[in-house]
Structure 1
Amino acid sequence: MKDLFGKAILDYQLGNYTEDIKTETSISEEDDLPLPYLFRSFKDMPKLERKALTLAKGKVLDIGCGAGSHALYLQDTKELEVTAVDISPNAIRACELRGVKDARNLDVMTLDSTEKYDTILLLMNGAGMCGKLEKLGAFLEKLKSILAPGGQILLDSSDIIYMFDDDEDGGVWIPADKSYYGEVDYIVKYKGETEPAFDWMYVDFTTLKKAANYCGLSCTCIMEGEHYDYLAKLTL
């Protein structure tokens, strides 16, 4: 991986902002992702994110922290102990420069299960990092292993069924090359470079709830957004 997402974040933090990230998926055309959006303050965040941050408590793990905006709000405004993790070394460097006290460059699947957290955050469709539905169970089991008694997992995602065409029988036409309609190939472009396509996933609430229940987790929809998105809470 070229870590273009992280390079863009670090460029912005260092004052080298000249252009935005471009993203594209196997079911959507190229679109701009403005870098300033990744550095947004609490008041500029979507309602689902603000609700999740309001619910956060205790020792927090922010998975896929990106530029660290969620972690900084919880650390500085709510004065919570926050660990921010991301697979992007450049993003973690930016988090450190912004003042995140505990920022780690790692894959959450490698996190020591002796560490326990009261709140695990997966915002901006963080559960999508599973890539494929077949990996969701193992991912949830890992999160369950690092969840403290009485703890919570807060994640948002979207049901992207609306992006597919209806067929003549009243159903929906789904490409045959994917085992689940929420699976997409995701491409990032930045400053003339293109990241190799990687697996990403949007999971509808019903599917998430079934996977969570299978793993021994309770799953509740806390809030629905304005465009097929939702915030869910998972507990032991």
Structure 2
Amino acid sequence: MSDPFGRAIRDHYRGEREAPLVDRDGERTREHPIERWYFGEFEGDEWLESHLDGPLIDMGAGAGRDALYFQDRFETVAIEVSDRLVATMRDRGVVDARRADMFSLPEQFERDRFRSAYARGTQVQLAGSMAGVERFLSDLAVVTAPDATAVIDGYAPERDATADTFGYREDPAPGLAYRVYHCVYEDEVGETLLFRLFSPDRLRAAAVGTPWTVAEVRYPRSDRPVQWVVRLEKA
């Protein structure tokens, strides 16, 4: 399977990257800021840490930046779908880095395995549809404890500034949009990524019928609030 994203990040970690990782949306391009997004130091956040506990599942863990921080505090399992990213996390010292798909959790982990769940990087919006988000929430409920919490983030179609986000596509329905682009590294082209952007209100609606409720919504960047962070609790 083509994996320009994982290959570029692994090459960067090993000091072997000579070309940029490029995100492409038609004729539009941007250089992916690998060092800043994946290898910068993760600084603990008092609010975040107050709502996470171990065992923790870090979904879409990238190069392991956040997992390295949390594993010093409690058991942390970091998952990624790229073998190269898993290898990079292990090389960097992530104790439990695994190749696993966050959208098929019950096939990979036992019931009630985790006390909390974490996905920062808008990965949940790769569910592709609101039906997919509902399935994800139901599956996440299976592998988390009855009193579990989860913290996830996403782009905010309810905010006007989000329309300037790379790959943004409008949707006439309130609180919904899309984001579409693919990655290119050297001569390798990745599959098209389809993000279903949804507002916290849409997330609340998707959670109906699952054990989760939206307990808190934050917009961390007051200067340009194009992303939300949500805390979920089991009902």
> Aligned residue pairs: how many?
221
Change (3 A) 1:124 1:208: same
Shift of 1:159: 1.1
Which residue of structure 2 aligns with residue 63 of structure 1?
Answer: 59
Over residues 104-157 of structure 1, what are the superposed CA-to-partner deviations in whole Å (9 max), with x where a residue is unaligned?
Answer: 111131323335111101111121221222211111100011111221111011
Equivalent-residue separation in structure 1 for 2:215 and 2:60 (angstroms): 22
> 2:171 touches 2:178 (CA, 8 Å); kept in 1?
no
Which residue of structure 2 aligns with residue 169 of structure 1?
Answer: none
Which residue of structure 2 aligns with residue 231 of structure 1?
Answer: 229
Equivalent-residue separation in structure 2 for 1:69 and 1:53 (angstroms): 15
Unaligned runs of 5+ in 1: 166-172
TM-score (norm 1): 0.83
Task: Give the match's secondary structure for 2:71.
Answer: helix
> Any residues of structure 2 matched to 1:1-236 within 5 Å, and which?
1-25=1-25, 29-37=28-36, 38-43=38-43, 51-53=47-49, 55-76=51-72, 79-108=73-102, 109=104, 110-114=107-111, 116-161=113-158, 162=160, 163-164=162-163, 174=170, 181-226=176-221, 227-236=225-234
Over residues 177-232 of structure 1, what are the superposed CA-to-partner deviations in whole Å (9 max), with x where a residue is unaligned?
Answer: x9984233231111232212132232211111111133231112342122231111
> Match for 1:139: what amino acid?
F
> 1:186 touches 1:200 (CA, 8 Å); kept in 2?
no
Equivalent-residue separation in structure 1 for 2:29 and 2:49 (angstroms): 30
Unaligned runs of 5+ in 2: none
Alpha-carbon RMSD: 2.7
TM-score (norm 2): 0.83
Percent same amino acid at aligned positions? 21
> 1:63 touches 1:121 (CA, 8 Å); kept in 2?
yes
> Match for 2:62: what amino acid?
G
Equivalent-residue separation in structure 1 for 2:189 and 2:134 (angstroms): 30
Change (3 A) 1:145 1:25: farther
Equivalent-residue separation in structure 1 for 2:28 and 2:209 (angstroms): 35
Moved more, 5-14 or 184-193: 184-193
Change (3 A) 1:179 1:205: closer
